[in-house]
Amino acid sequence: MTPPSSSSPWASVIIPIKDERENLSPLVAGLFKVMDSHESSQSRPYEILFVDDGSSDGSSQELDRLAAQHPQVRVFHFDRNYGKTCALDAGFRQSSGEIIIQIDGDLQQDSEDILKLLPLTATHDLVCGWRQQRQDGFVKMISSRIANRVRNRFTHDGVHDTGCPLKVFRRPVLERITLYEGMHRFFPALALMHGFTVTEVPVRHYPRIHGQSKYGMGNRLFKSLYDLIAVRWMQHRVLRYHFKKGEGPEAGG
C-alpha cells in the first residue's frame, strides 16, 4: 500500500463492485454526505475508491461517469471477475488514507453508520459492524449464521458478524495482513492474530432493492469452512516475539 504523507487523505473508502449499476449514484451521494460531515474533512481530503470486479451490467460506465464528475472518486477496473478478496486487496493497496473504510455497494448498509464506527478507531485498530437485525433471504441468513458460529468456535475472535461488509481499519492492520482468496471473511481473526485490537458496533441493515446477491449456500458456507482450516493453521504458526528492554531496533545506538 502507498504510505500516507502529510497531504494524503485522512480516510479512504473502499467499495468492491460487481453489477451494482442502479445502486452506485445513491451510494456515492450517501457517502459524500457522511464523509463531508466528519470534522477531519474540514482540513484534509478523503477519497472513495471503487474496484470494478468484472461488471457486465453497465456499472463500469456508471463508475467512470461518477469519477469524471467527482474528484474524490477513483475507479479501478479488473479485466475480468476475480472475486471480493482480490477487489478489496486492490483497493487497500491503491489507498492512501490513514483510516480505511470498507463497505459494499448493495445499499444494504447505511453509510451514516460509518460515523458510529469512526470514533472507536481512537482505541481500536479494527472496528466491525454487527448486523443484529439481518434483512436477507432465508438461505443467506442460515448459511451466515452457521458459518459465524463455527468460525467463532475455532478462531475465538469474539465477533458476532465477521461477514458484515462495514468495517473501519487503522492503516497498520492492512499493512501487516497478507490476504489470500477468501480471507476477507476472517479480518477480525487475522487482526487479533497479529496483536491488533478489535471491537464491534451494532449497525443497521436493509433488504436489497436493486441487483442480486452474489452469495449463496455453496460459496458462503462451504468455502468459508474450508478457509477456516487455513486460518486455524496460521493462528498456530504465526511468528510472535519481543526484544528485552533496552535491546532491539527501538534501543538505538
Tens-place pLDDT, residues 171-195: 999 999 999 888 898 999 999 999 9
128: Cβ contacts below 8 Å, ≥ 6 apart: 159, 161, 162, 164, 166, 167, 187, 188, 198, 199, 200, 201
Query: What's the whole-number mean pLDDT along residues 66-81?
Result: 97
Overall size of the chain counted in residues: 253
Percent of the chain with pLDDT over 70: 81
Q: Which CATH number fits domain 11-134+160-210: 1.10.3720.10, 3.90.550.10, 3.30.310.50, 3.40.50.2000?
A: 3.90.550.10
Q: Which of 98-107, 213-222, 224-233 has the lowest mean pLDDT?
A: 213-222
Residue 35's pLDDT is what?
98
CA trace torsion 85, 91, 94, 95 (10° rounding) = -130
Euclidean distance between CA atoms 215 and 217, whole angstroms: 7
Domain boundaries, the chain: 11-134+160-210
Which pLDDT score is estimated for 146?
60
- C-alpha 41, offset from chain centre: 21
Is the pLDDT confidence value at 52 over 90? yes
DSSP secondary structure letter of residue 23? H
Higher pLDDT, 76 or 184: 76
User: Does residue 154 carry a pLDDT above 80?
Assistant: no
| Cβ atoms of 186 and 155 closer than 8 Å | yes
The mean pLDDT of 73-99, rounded to a whole number, is: 97
Query: Is the pLDDT confidence value at 125 over 60?
Result: yes
Candidate from 12-21, 37-46, 101-110, 150-159 with smallest mean pLDDT: 150-159
Task: Report the pLDDT averaged over residues 22-38.
Answer: 97
